[in-house]
């Protein structure tokens, strides 16, 4: 993308087009939009839907939104609204790129109109390096780069899951203790004993004394109340073996599979795959 930006800048210079500020924005544009695009892609269930959203949203903010705002800036009754939109939408890198192109191409006519007697009513300058013009766009690109890069780091490092685990550790004293007097069927006891006596390499999946506790109704200042979803579960699976979990609603079947797929962490016990 940076290579494309550089080639475009060279073409503008060779053609003699005075789009210097827009070329600078175009060169820096990928730094603001790539982290944003990557993070928003996590929202969508498929690559195709993420690509569709990316294409149409960037197309709208590069062409449609700047065109509409630039047109409104010629209408005296909405001078204040148009300037507010022009400044506020700079937080979107794609809008900043489109606005920079309009500024370099037609900005002189806008300034000339605003300085004429019929157009007076809201301050406007032709200086590109003001917050209303190119400087605001560059600030928006810089903000997007820092903000979305930090969000991306949090996603890649799984900060949410780590913070949840940290909260469980900090509130360990509040967790319900394992129930020693559970009524356990003989076949469940026999399976737990078989798993305990079987070497790890003899089983494809080995779950030993799995326990999972959730914190219900928790918030930033409220650790919540503990809910034990899985209690002292043990089972082992050999290669080629068919397996199913049976139980009533709330027995912990979904939680067990979430732990097996690493979607949730264990409170205690071990899983080896």
pLDDT averaged per 10 residues in sequence order, the chain, 273 residues: 59 63 82 87 83 90 90 85 88 87 82 70 73 85 90 78 62 58 76 85 87 70 70 85 83 86 82 85
236, 194 contact by CB (below 8 A): yes
208, 269 contact by CB (below 8 A): yes
In eight-state DSSP terms, residue 218 is: -
Tokens describing residue 217 = 């109704």
Residues of the chain with CATH 3.40.50.300: 174-272
Per-residue pLDDT, 7: 63
Distance of CA 14 to the CA centre of its chain: 40
Per-residue pLDDT, 60: 92
Per-residue pLDDT, 4: 61
> What's the sign of the alpha-carbon dihedral 65, 70, 76, 81?
positive
Residue 120, beta-bridge partner list:
none
Residue 235, beta-bridge partner list:
207
Tokens describing residue 34 = 């790539």
Per-residue pLDDT, 226: 75
Per-residue pLDDT, 241: 84
Q: Containing H/E element for 214?
A: strand 205-216
Which residue from 192, 265, 199 is spatially nearest to 229, judged by alpha carbons?
A: 265
Q: CATH homologous superfamily of domain 174-272?
A: P-loop containing nucleotide triphosphate hydrolases (3.40.50.300)
Per-residue pLDDT, 80: 83
The number of residues making up the chain comes to 273
Tokens describing residue 55 = 């294409």
87, 101 contact by CB (below 8 A): no
Per-residue pLDDT, 1: 53
pTM: 0.56
Which residue from 93, 126, 127, 109 is spatially nearest to 25, judged by alpha carbons?
A: 93
């Amino acid at each position: 993308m940076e290579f494309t930006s550089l080639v475009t800048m060279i073409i503008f210079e060779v053609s003699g087009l005075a789009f210097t500020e827009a070329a600078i924005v175009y060169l820096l544009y990928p730094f603001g939009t790539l982290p944003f695009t990557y993070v928003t892609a996590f929202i969508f269930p498929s690559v195709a839907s993420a690509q569709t959203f990316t294409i149409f949203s960037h197309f709208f903010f590069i062409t449609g939104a700047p065109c509409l705002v630039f047109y409104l800036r010629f209408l005296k009754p909405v001078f204040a609204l148009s300037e507010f939109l022009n400044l506020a939408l700079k937080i979107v890198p794609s809008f900043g790129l489109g606005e920079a192109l309009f500024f370099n191409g037609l900005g002189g006519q806008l300034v000339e109109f605003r300085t004429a007697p019929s157009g007076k009513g809201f301050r406007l300058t032709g200086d590109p390096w003001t917050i209303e013009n190119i400087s605001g766009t560059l600030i928006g690109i810089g903000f997007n780069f820092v903000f979305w890069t930090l969000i991306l780091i949090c996603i890649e490092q799984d900060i949410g899951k780590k913070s949840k685990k940290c909260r469980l550790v900090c509130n360990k004293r509040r967790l319900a203790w394992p129930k020693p007097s559970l009524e356990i069927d003989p076949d469940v006891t026999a399976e737990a004993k078989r798993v305990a006596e079987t070497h790890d390499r003899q089983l494809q999946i080995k779950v030993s004394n799995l326990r999972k506790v959730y914190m219900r109704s928790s918030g930033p200042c409220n650790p919540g109340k503990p809910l034990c979803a899985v209690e002292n579960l043990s089972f082992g699976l050999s290669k080629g073996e068919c397996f199913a979990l049976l139980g009533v609603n709330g027995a912990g079947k979904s939680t067990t599979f979430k732990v097996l797929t690493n979607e949730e962490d264990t409170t205690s016990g071990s899983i080896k795959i």
